[in-house]
Structure 1
Amino acid sequence: MNNANKTEQTSYIGMWVTKDGYIRHELLPNGRYDEARGKRQSAYQGFYAIHGDHIDYVDDTGFTADGDFQGGVLYHAGMILYREE
């Protein structure tokens, strides 16, 4: 991975949450993610890869999903997630 791609990917690392806080995606620096739903911690876990402003997910059961970062917002599977500061 060249330095530009590495910088792109690391700029998205961190916690992304829906406006109501119910769904929380934590993008970890090791290419893994951990998704919590409501009071259920680690409801889904798996790997992610970022290419430009696009993210692909593969959870540990093999389910796949994707999303796009636009203007500091993550649009994923009909959900809108915001960067938690």
Structure 2
Amino acid sequence: MTGNTQEGHAGVVGMWVTADGHIRQELRADGRYDEARGNRRSAYTGRYKVTGSHIDYLDDSGFTATGDIRDGVLYHEHLVLYREEKQA
């Protein structure tokens, strides 16, 4: 993954969480992500690139993953994440 394409990031930027709240993935506007698991903050960090509704992830440790957003739900490998609504 080369470059930092900002196209499409605006539609995915924010916090995404599993239904049980155990996994929290923050997709940032700068093309970086930070994923927490349980009490483990920054369990996974890296870059992401959006192409249409598809997301390619490149973790800082070198592994890759993919995800797709369908009907407002992020399907990331075996995970299902929902956009966290901001508190008023």
Query: TM-score when scaled to structure 2?
Result: 0.87
Please state if 1:36 is matched with 2:41: no
8 Å CA contact retained: 2:9, 2:31: no
Please state if 1:72 is matched with 2:72: yes
Residue 14 of structure 1: aligned partner: 14
Percent of aligned pairs sharing the same letter: 60
Gaps of 5+ in 2: 1-5
> Which stretches of structure 1, 4 residues or longer, exceed 3 Å deviation after superposition?
none
Gaps of 5+ in 1: none
Q: Give, as a single letter, the amino acid of the residue that structure 1 aligns with 2:70.
A: Q
Query: TM-score when scaled to structure 1?
Result: 0.90
| Higher percent of residues as helix | 1
RMSD: 1.0
Distance in 2 of aligned mates of 1:51 and 1:9: 9
